[in-house]
Structure 1
Amino acid sequence: MTKEEDQLREKRFSRIRRVKKLLRPLPRRANIHRYPVLNWFAGTARKKDFLWSFRRNAVVPAFYVGWVLTLLPLYGLQLVLAFLLALGFRANLMIMIALQMVSNPITVLPLWYLNYQVGNFFLNLIFGESPIRFGVLISEASDQNFSFRQTLDFIIERTRESGSSVVSELLGRLVGGTFLGGLILGLLAGFISCCIYRIVLNRYVPSYNKVAAEALRRDRNSGRNDS
């Protein structure tokens, strides 16, 4: 084995070790039974090789579906949905679970607010502007340190005062806008993640395969010479 091969092999194993260290907190085939909720599906998960595969056909759907799921207002249901969607899309479960950590008790409300702003922007383009400015109302409720329940009551009261339908405005604009924004931002984040993944593959995999092919060719030539 040449010095170049040794260096490339060491770099590759070093990257693998770093990836394994990052994945250590995540569920794996050997320890999925230790995780709450996911332990219900441990037997099924171990039989599905694609859940643990880092090939492109398992990674790409994991990025797209994982990002959309973590940004949608489905906090508390994400782990179960991540597993079911990983099965449905034949996606990598570890990536799906890792992305759900983006939405946590600290980030979930800012993410939902961002979703609403993006979704409401597109709803305004399609249906026209709403008479209710939910962003302003939420900001006012936040300034007064309202709880979630008080904030909801405050929004409903102001919506009624404007003469608008509470149901259509809340469901169509607030909830609908948040879901639409989560979908748009999730697909965008998935696209960016896949681009980065492809760049990494194109940078590292061909060089390793090239050196490995040259080593195999030398071994074959050496075997012919010996014979």
Structure 2
Amino acid sequence: MPKKFIRRYIPTPERIAALPGIHRLGSRITDPNLWHINRRSISGAMFWGIVCAWIPLPSQMLIAAACAILFRVNLPLSIALTWISNPFTMLPILYSSYCIGSLIFGVPMLDITQIKHIIIQLTTSLFGDSASAVPTQYHFNLGALLVGLLIEAVVLGAIGNILVKLLWRWHVVRDLRERQIQRKQYRQDQEKS
């Protein structure tokens, strides 16, 4: 069952409630619905975790926790999925979102030299002398980025939700067929003896 696999990696509500600062949430954090491992809870957590991962703010985990509590889906999974966006994946996420937004808004896409100048400017300002940063002339549309982020988040969240439901159903049907085969084999063995 997928429950056994998932339960192996998710902490217990008591362990989470014992963490410092969690007592402020009160009894909400120990609500059994936030810790259920069923198709609805896991697929909902997949949706909200992925959507919150695409929010370009440092408080993604808090937003995912609030969504999990509000929609009563699996809390640990929705928080864990926010780590899809990390320092290694953030640049591709932002670039693909800007591509989607620029197509919708009809604004020109950034070419490779402009991206190279942006990366050089960011690295020199972070690790070197900011006075020697490479000046860049580009038109960046924030609206295109935000709309692209929203569209990408909702579409990928919906795909994740649907995939979890389909995989869950496939796993349950497969287990049911295996049990039917075992029962049939058992009956045949009983008839022979």
Instruction: Normalising by structure 1, report the TM-score.
Output: 0.61
Does structure 1 residue 171 correspond to structure 2 residue 153? no
Which residue of 2 is the match for residue 21 of structure 1?
Answer: 8
Deviation at 1:82, TM superposition (A): 1.3
User: Of the two, which has the highest radius of gyration?
Assistant: 1
Letter in structure 1 aligned against 2:118: A
Deviation at 1:96, TM superposition (A): 0.7
Deviation at 1:34, TM superposition (A): 5.1
Q: Are the structure 2 counterparts of residues 173 and 80 from structure 1 closer, same or farther at C-alpha, using a change threshold of 3 Å?
A: same
Deviation at 1:84, TM superposition (A): 1.1
Q: Deviations over 1:141-163 (max 9, x none)?
A: 22x3534888xx966x422xxxx
Verify the 8 A CA contact 1:71 1:183 in the aligned structure 2.
Answer: no
Q: CA RMSD in A?
A: 3.5
Verify the 8 A CA contact 1:51 1:86 in the aligned structure 2.
Answer: yes
Given candidates 112, 136, 154, the residue that maps to 1:183 is: 154
Deviation at 1:91, TM superposition (A): 0.7
Given candidates 49, 68, 71, the residue that maps to 2:51 is: 68
Mapping of residues 85-100 of structure 1, within 5 Å: 85-100=67-82
Deviation at 1:94, TM superposition (A): 2.0
Deviation at 1:89, TM superposition (A): 1.4
Q: Which runs of 5+ in 1 are unaligned?
A: 1-11, 160-168, 215-227
Letter in structure 2 aligned against 1:134: L
- How many angstroms apart in 1 are the aligned matches of 2:95 and 2:39? 32
Q: Are the structure 2 counterparts of residues 43 and 87 from structure 1 closer, same or farther at C-alpha, using a change threshold of 3 Å?
A: same
Given candidates 54, 59, 67, the residue that maps to 2:37 is: 54
Q: Deviations over 1:78-130 (max 9, x none)?
A: 22111111122121112212212222232222222223323433x1xxx4x21
Deviation at 1:41, TM superposition (A): 2.5
Residues matched between the structures, number: 175
Q: Deviations over 1:5-30 (max 9, x none)?
A: xxxxxxx6x982x444333xxx4301
Deviation at 1:35, TM superposition (A): 4.9
Instruction: Normalising by structure 2, report the TM-score.
Output: 0.70
- How many angstroms apart in 2 are the aligned matches of 1:20 and 1:170? 43
Verify the 8 A CA contact 2:34 2:68 in the aligned structure 1.
Answer: yes
Q: Are the structure 2 counterparts of residues 189 and 41 from structure 1 closer, same or farther at C-alpha, using a change threshold of 3 Å?
A: same
SS in 2 for 1:106: coil
SS in 2 for 1:53: coil
- How many angstroms apart in 2 are the aligned matches of 1:170 and 1:36? 41
- How many angstroms apart in 1 are the aligned matches of 2:111 and 2:162? 28
Verify the 8 A CA contact 1:115 1:182 in the aligned structure 2.
Answer: no
Which residue of 2 is the match for residue 43 of structure 1?
Answer: 27
Q: Deviations over 1:53-87 (max 9, x none)?
A: 1122322211222222112323x212211111112
Which residue of 2 is the match for residue 141 of structure 1?
Answer: 118
Deviation at 1:38, TM superposition (A): 5.0
Verify the 8 A CA contact 1:115 1:178 in the aligned structure 2.
Answer: yes
- How many angstroms apart in 2 are the aligned matches of 1:114 and 1:35? 37
- How many angstroms apart in 1 are the aligned matches of 2:154 and 2:35? 25
Identity %: 24
